[in-house]
Amino acid sequence: MSTTQLKAFHIVAQSGGFSQAARDMAISQSTLSAHVRELEAISGVNLLERKPRGVSLSPQGERLFEITARLFQAENEAKAFLRGDTGSAGGHLRVAADGPVLPLPILSRLKAERPQLTFSLSVDNSARVMEQIIDYRADVAITARAPDDPRLYGVKFLSMRLGLCVPVFHTLAARESVFVAELEGLSFVMRERGSRTREIFEKNLADHGISIQPVIEISSREGVREAIANGVGCGVVADLEFGHDARLSFVPLCDATELIDEYAICLAERRHLPLVRRFIEEAGRVL
């Protein structure tokens, strides 16, 4: 078997299909498919389950993907070292986060320190952010989910309080704060399950014995904000992540005792890499 065949399998597994993988590798789909078939033929192992739309990994494919993730991550680190990316001038950092507000000040400080630094930022719910770290698709992450997996290393760097996010014309918009009991029967717009903010909010509701109307789920943070601004329902947000939107008001939940803890995380085996270490150090500074 060849590195080319392993790379072809890895990109297909990472992309979830041959079409996107072919675009990522800048080769034809037929050539890519041939590389994967050759790898399966040589090994005698079925690695991919072909479907009408995309592919899924067989159990053997999942194990191989874990190995190729480490293989090509090590290759990328070797290339970065030889290019001098471990120095103070630059480097590239792949960042995952469950919101953009917290990681950007950290990245801004790193950029000032390393003028040639480049980075990518992927925003998703907390559960998927953790998956990106474990699957080697991100180098570091900011997430509200505690790193309880032994493969992960994390540092808690702040705690946030919950509040309502309501349109400025809502009856609660002018309040200085509200009690959780006042939410009884209100309609809410939220992210899908997997959102740590939603989990903490529901814990606070349960602690107070409060029921709300069936939740309207929207898959993106931007979609949730638009729905709230248009009066579809109330939302819930952490105080430091509210941001700025003239259409919306933030109203603290004064007796919501369950807080949202934020962590800077990475793979434990990669915590000593220079850029990874600096990111986590910067997260420890007051934002």
Please indicate whether the domains covering 3-61 and 162-258 agree at the CATH topology level. no
pLDDT band at residue 54, thresholds of 50, 70 and 90?
A: confident
Given this model, what pLDDT does residue 278 score?
A: 93
Residue 88 has pLDDT above 60, yes or no: no
Does domain 84-157+261-283 match CATH 3.40.190.10? yes
CATH of 3-61, one of 3.40.50.300, 1.10.10.10, 3.40.50.1000, 1.10.150.530: 1.10.10.10
Residue 287 has pLDDT above 70, yes or no: no
Mean pLDDT of 18-26: 85
pLDDT band at residue 85, thresholds of 50, 70 and 90?
A: low
Alpha-helical regions (H) of the chain: 3-15, 18-25, 29-43, 59-83, 103-113, 126-134, 196-208, 221-229, 274-283
Mean pLDDT of 93-117: 93
Segments making up each domain of the chain, as ranges: 3-61, 84-157+261-283, 162-258
Order of strands, sheet of 248-252, starting from the edge strand that comes earlier in the sequence: 235-238, 162-167, 248-252
**What percent of the chain has pLDDT above 70?**
96
Residue 83 has pLDDT above 80, yes or no: no
Residues 188-225 have pLDDT tens digits of 999 888 788 999 999 999 999 999 887 899 988 889 99
The answer to whether 165 and 247 have CB atoms below 8 angstroms apart is: no
Question: Which residues touch 189 (CB under 8 Å, ≥6 apart)?
Answer: 215, 216, 218, 224, 227, 228, 232, 233, 234, 235
Residue 106 has pLDDT above 80, yes or no: yes
Mean pLDDT of the chain: 90
The answer to whether 141 and 133 have CB atoms below 8 angstroms apart is: yes
Given this model, what pLDDT does residue 80 score?
A: 66
Instruction: Classify domain 162-258 at the CATH superfamily level.
Output: Periplasmic binding protein-like II (3.40.190.10)
Residue 84 has pLDDT above 60, yes or no: no
Task: State how far the Cα of 29 lies from the Cα of 17, in Å rounded to an integer.
Answer: 10
User: Token pair for residue 81?
Assistant: 């070292």
Residues 221-273 have pLDDT tens digits of 889 999 999 999 999 999 998 988 999 999 999 999 999 999 999 999 889 88
Residues 151-186 have pLDDT tens digits of 999 999 999 999 999 999 999 999 999 999 999 999
